Amino acid sequence: MATREIGIIVNGATGRIASTQHLANALLPIRDEGGLAAGADRIVPRLMLAGRDAERVSALAGRLGIAEWTADLDAALERPDFPIFFDAAATRQRVATLTRAIEAGKHIYSEKPLAPSVEQGAQLLRAIRARGLKAGAVEDKIFLPGLRKLARLAAAGFFGRITGFRLDFGWWVFDGAERPSQRPSWNYRRSGGGGLISDMYPHWRYVIETILGPIRRVVSTATTVIPERVDEAGARYAVDVDDTATTLAELANGAVGTIVCSWATRVRRDDLLTLQVDGTGGSALAGLHKCWIQSAADTPAVRHFNPDVDLGMDYRADWKEFPGATERINPYRAGWERFLRHVVMNEPLVSDFRAGLRDVALAEACYRSAVEGRWVAIDEPGALA
């Protein structure tokens, strides 16, 4: 068995997503377990941490046991022994940062969104293709246990003909004055690349399309319901992006569903994220970890409602928990394993850069719909590249 070491520059390493999910929960376990199986060989990540604050990057590298780190991104990009560039730094810097990495001849793996617009992302894709590079987008949510079970049901034909779906997501994010905010202030500033639709809808695109099929068109609202917040320095600032959004989405198969998201809602549902799918054969509702089903045969006959007397019906009684797959893997690790095999073994990659552009296309279509007040078709990003 041969071992193949592959260098990965992790940019934005000190951020929460990079340090916790991509490093501690994904790349380091792969490395520490002796690498990723690739046929008869093993792929072992060799990591270089990159960030703007040398002190913080150095401290993180020491804590994680990573020998190589830098605060000089240009110097890192000049290293031929690090052929992969991963970006989890600030969204507002992404296009410029990825452009530098592409020009340096690096394979690209990137957090979301890949770019502020489809056109800017398409320019990156053209540059990637011109240089013969491989590129992928992080699509982690589809690997959540509950959604994996839902995808398994769909693949098995449990739903029959899909009649609709409902995705509900969010929680109450404190404004920083009432209590400390659970999310960074850049999420609420246009200058920082913030906005609920921009942040979360790229995830809902691949979740919905992986399980149910392509989205044809959308009609959306995007609103700001908490107009003022307090930042990390204690200063008040005006929120100039959306923190709440509602969308009707029509699938290519004709089914219509809803996407309801908010950073200003209190949770009274099964989980922080729920996705219910209804069909002629049955329904299922998935949270982050669990999935409940009600088949057509188990569906009770609901004949009426009584405005004067509570019927006392337990509408959950005829739902059963679906055990689904028992194998558990960190969603970020699953994405890295697929990307590394794509780079080293040329295995097909569903979450390639073009798929990441379609994620951006959904967000872009929803913003356009909110402004113009009408249905907007999701353009095919591949046509732009």
> Over the stretch 130-171, which tens digit does the pLDDT of each residue have?
999 999 999 999 999 999 999 999 999 999 999 999 999 999
Q: How far apart are CA 119 and CA 383, in angstroms?
A: 11
54 pLDDT more than 70: yes
Rounded mean pLDDT, 269-279: 97
Query: 3-class DSSP state for residue 327?
Result: coil
What is the pLDDT confidence band of residue 36, given thresholds at 50, 70 and 90? Answer: very high
DSSP string covering 263-319? SB----SSSSEEEEEEETTEEEEE-SS-EEEEETTT--------SSS-----TTTT-
CA distance 152 to 325: 8
pLDDT value at 383 more than 50: no
CA–chain centroid gap for 32, Å, is 26
pLDDT, residue 1, reads 65
Region of poorest pLDDT, from 20-34, 97-111, 258-272, 323-337: 323-337
Asked if 144 contacts 137 with a C-beta cutoff of 8 angstroms, the reply is: no
Chain segment 218-266, per-residue pLDDT in tens: 999 999 999 999 999 999 999 999 999 999 999 999 999 999 999 999 9
What proportion of the chain, given as a percentage, has pLDDT over 70?
97
The larger pLDDT score, comparing residue 132 to residue 305, is at: 132
Q: What is the DSSP annotation of 209-265?
A: HHHH--EEEEEEEEE-SS-EEE-TTS-EEE--S-SEEEEEEEETTS-EEEEEEESB-
Query: With 70 as the cut, is the pLDDT of residue 382 above it?
Result: no
Residue 304's pLDDT band (boundaries 50, 70, 90)?
Answer: confident
Mean of the per-residue pLDDT values for the chain?
94
Confidence of residue 313 (pLDDT cuts 50, 70, 90): confident
Out of 58-62, 179-183, 300-304, 324-328, least confident range: 324-328
Least confident of 98-107, 310-319, 344-353: 310-319
Q: Is the model's pLDDT at 43 over the cut of 80?
A: yes
CB contact set of 348 (below 8 Å; sequence gap of 6+): 342
- 3-class secondary-structure state, position 39: coil
pLDDT beyond 90 at 331: yes
Tokens 């068995």, located at residue: 1
DSSP-derived letter for residue 381 is G
Domains of the chain listed by start with CATH number? 3-140+331-350 (3.40.50.720), 143-329+361-372 (3.30.360.10)
β partners of residue 285: 276, 292
pLDDT at 285: 98
In this predicted structure, the answer to whether residue 172 has a pLDDT above a threshold of 50 is: yes
Q: Which of 111-115, 133-137, 376-380 has the lowest mean pLDDT?
A: 376-380
The answer to whether 17 and 331 have CB atoms below 8 angstroms apart is no
Phi, psi of 48 (to 5 degrees): -125, 120
Mean pLDDT of 112-128: 95
* Tally of CA atoms within 13 A in the half-sphere of 374 that contains its CB: 3
pLDDT for 277-293, tens place per residue? Answer: 999 999 999 999 999 99
Least Cα distance to 117 among 184, 213, 195, 15 occurs for: 195
